[in-house]
């Protein structure tokens, strides 16, 4: 049985991935509208957001549906978002930094909660007594 903490963390992670994909769409529309930056490529940044957002969305969906592989991607993404929160804070946007940091810490707390760690350590397909190869 998938713990509620894992499902909630998965839902939040899926939302984070969805927001990254929305950002990719917004950057593409902005670039198509004629906006140009000298230092960055709008299309390249949009592609990065689309690729990363798709991976994070898939990880969130994996957690919601009980697939353990999504946890690593979700943890990594939320650790990166803590760095983003620090950058936003240092840019003078305290309110946004706090929101990003609190959500990231909440997801990490859910993914490292006792019920999530116990669920992660359980494997119904393989056991130490089995002579079958480990198929995880």
Per-residue model confidence as pLDDT tens digits over 2-55: 999 999 999 999 999 999 999 999 999 999 998 887 777 889 999 999 999 999
Domains: count for the chain: 1
Read off the pTM. 0.85
Cβ(126)–Cβ(134) below 8 Å: yes
- Residue-level pLDDT at 133: 56
Tell whether 133 is covered by a domain.
no
The reply to whether 47 falls in a domain is: yes
Nearest CA-CA partner of 100 in 130, 79, 129: 79
Q: Give a yes or no: residue 126 inside a domain.
A: no
User: What does the pLDDT read at residue 59?
Assistant: 98
What average pLDDT does range 76-99 have in this prediction?
96
Does residue 128 lie within any of the structural domains?
Answer: no
pLDDT per residue as tens digits for the range 120-136: 998 756 544 555 555 65
Q: How many whole angstroms separate alpha carbon 5 and alpha carbon 16?
A: 16
pLDDT attached to residue 39: 76
Tokens 């991607």 locate to 73
| Cβ proximity of 17 and 56 under 8 Å | yes
**Residue 129 placed within a domain:** no
Q: Is 37 left (phi over 0), alpha (psi -120 to 50) or beta?
A: beta
Q: Note down the domain range covering 53.
A: 4-121
**Residue 34 near residue 56, CB atoms below 8 Å:** no
**Is 76 inside a domain boundary?**
yes
Residue 120 makes CB contacts below 8 A (sequence gap 6+) with: 68, 71
């Amino acid at each position: 049985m998938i713990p509620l903490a894992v499902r909630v963390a998965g839902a939040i992670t899926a939302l984070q991935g969805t927001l990254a994909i929305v950002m990719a769409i917004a950057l593409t529309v902005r670039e198509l509208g004629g906006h140009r930056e000298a230092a960055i490529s709008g299309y390249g940044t949009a592609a990065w957001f689309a690729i990363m957002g798709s991976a994070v969305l898939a990880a969130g969906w994996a957690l919601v549906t009980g697939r353990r592989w999504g946890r690593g991607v979700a943890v990594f993404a939320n650790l990166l978002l803590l760095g983003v929160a620090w950058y936003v804070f240092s840019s003078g946007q305290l309110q946004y930094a706090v929101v990003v940091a609190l959500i990231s810490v909440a997801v990490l707390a859910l993914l490292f909660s006792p019920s999530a760690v116990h669920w992660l350590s359980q494997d119904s397909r393989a056991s130490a007594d089995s002579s079958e190869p480990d198929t995880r």
